[in-house]
């Protein structure tokens, strides 16, 4: 998986929709203008988000989009996986028996596999509400290792 503009635009669109909740509905043209995104491209993304229950659409001159779920229930890993597909940072896939094309996995397989898992773990703990509240920084920390536990004090 490579995070493309489509995934980033989906998150941007959801953020814009959530920020406009006080107005109730926001038009594609408003989001497109605000974020400098093609309306046609955005329509494809929002159609996918609508089909999968993240947003609701109302047709007509006063129509637009609104969230179908609460912001805290929209999890970024779900959004990215819907738009981009499963997060895979390694070059090999389950379809192939080996990374190298010959046999077995390459020396870097576990590194890239673990990175993909870390990205998914990070995104699975971020909601749209977290983004709106600016509650993102400081979430990526090194894991606590057993030797670090010896130096910890519990109050």
- Lookup result for tokens 């635009």: 9
On the CB side of 68, how many CA atoms lie within 13 Å of its CA? 13
Q: What is the CATH number of the domain that holds 47?
A: 1.10.10.10
Q: What are 76-130's pLDDT values in tens digits?
A: 999 999 998 887 776 665 555 566 666 667 777 888 888 888 888 899 999 999 9
87, 110, 137 from 116: Cα distances, Å: 6, 10, 20
Mean pLDDT of 54-76: 94
Q: What are 27-57's pLDDT values in tens digits?
A: 999 999 999 999 999 999 999 999 999 999 9
Which has more confidence, 101 or 61? Answer: 61
In a domain, 96, yes or no: no
Which pLDDT score is estimated for 100?
61
pLDDT at 136 over 60: yes
What pTM was computed for the model? 0.80
- Domain span at 15: 5-87+128-132
Triad 40, 52, 137: Cα angle to 5°: 85
In a domain, 108, yes or no: no
- Lookup result for tokens 């896939």: 93
């Amino acid at each position: 998986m490579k995070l493309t503009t489509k995934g980033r635009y989906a998150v941007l669109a959801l953020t814009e929709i959530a920020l406009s909740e006080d107005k109730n509905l926001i038009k594609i043209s408003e989001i497109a203008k605000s974020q400098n995104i093609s309306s046609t491209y955005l329509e494809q993304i929002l159609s996918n988000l609508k089909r999968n229950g993240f947003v609701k659409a109302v047709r007509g001159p006063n129509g637009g989009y609104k969230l179908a779920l609460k912001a805290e229930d929209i999890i970024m890993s779900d959004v990215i996986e819907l738009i981009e597909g499963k997060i895979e940072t390694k070059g090999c896939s389950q379809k192939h028996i080996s990374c190298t094309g010959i046999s077995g996995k390459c020396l870097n397989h576990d590194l890239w596999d673990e990175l993909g898992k870390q990205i998914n773990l990070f995104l699975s703990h971020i909601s749209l509400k977290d983004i709106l509240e600016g509650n993102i920084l400081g979430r990526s920390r090194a894991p606590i290792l057993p030797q670090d536990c010896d130096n910890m004090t519990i109050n």
